[in-house]
Each structure stands twice: as structure tokens, then as C-alpha cells.
Amino acid sequence: MKHEKKEFGRKIGEIVHQEMVQTISVPENDYFQVITEYDNNFLIYDSNYLGIHRSDGIIFIQITLNEGRDVDLKKLLYKNIADHLHNELDVRREDVLINLVEVKKENWSFGNGIAQYA
């Protein structure tokens, strides 16, 4: 399944957000993303780290979220994102690298200089 470049990045973001809402109960309108594309000079990765054979179609997904979800829920999120990207966009599961950055709730300000979750 071929997608235009512009549409492809937006669709990845939609899939990640959908899985965050469904799998780890992120609020539907908590939707803030930065999607950036790099060529091979600026995207460096080991193509066989941990015995996983990656291609130049690799996608790095970093999610910053509130701490506190258990390991099984995180594993389910990883699987659901990789499966959904594979099924919808024909992305190889091996090419989906996901990193969660957990922070305390008081480390967010969504505007107005206020810590809304503190």
C-alpha cells in the first residue's frame, strides 16, 4: 500500500494516538505530536541490534507520558502500535522502534505558565 509522503507521516501520528487512547487510556483530545523525517545521513541505527533485522524504513516513535502504567500495558501498547502500522501502512514490525519517556504529572504545562496536572 503506497502513501504520499505527507499523508504517511500524518497517518503514523493518527495510528499512534489512536493506540494510546485505546490501550493506555490517554484522553482523546490529548493530541500533541512532532513528526520529523531524516535522510540516512541524520538517522543512525544498528540494522541488527538484539537480532532484529531493520531496514531503511525504520520508524522511531518517542512518547512522553505520565508515569505509572504497568509493564504489561506498555508491552500491549508496543504490540498494538506495531501491528496497526503494519496492517494499515504496510510498515514492517521490525522497523517500529518505540521509546517511552515517563514523567511526573507536575512536569507538564499545557499553556498559560500553569502546571495543569500539579
User: Which superfamily is assigned to 5-106 in CATH?
Assistant: Macrophage Migration Inhibitory Factor (3.30.429.10)
Q: What percent of the chain has pLDDT over 70?
A: 95
- Residues forming beta bridges with residue 97, ordered by sequence position: 60
pLDDT of residue 39: 87
Count of residues for the chain? 118
Of the candidates 63, 51, 55, 42, the residue with the CA atom closest to the CA atom of residue 91: 55
Phi-psi region for residue 45, left (φ > 0), alpha (ψ -120 to 50) or beta? Answer: beta
pTM of model > 0.85: yes
* 3-state SS class at 46: coil
Q: What percent of the chain has pLDDT over 90?
A: 92
**11-35: per-residue pLDDT in tens?**
999 999 999 999 999 999 999 999 9
- Rounded Cα–Cα distance for residues 8 and 21 (Å): 20
pLDDT of residue 40: 86
Q: Which helix (H) or strand (E) segment is 79 a member of?
A: helix 71-89
> Within 13 A of 2's CA, how many CA atoms are on the CB side?
1
φ, ψ dihedrals at 101, nearest 5°: -115, 110
pLDDT tier, 1 (very low <50, low <70, confident <90, very high otherwise): very low
Q: Are 81 and 16 in contact (CB under 8 A)?
A: yes
- Overall average pLDDT of the 59-80 stretch: 97
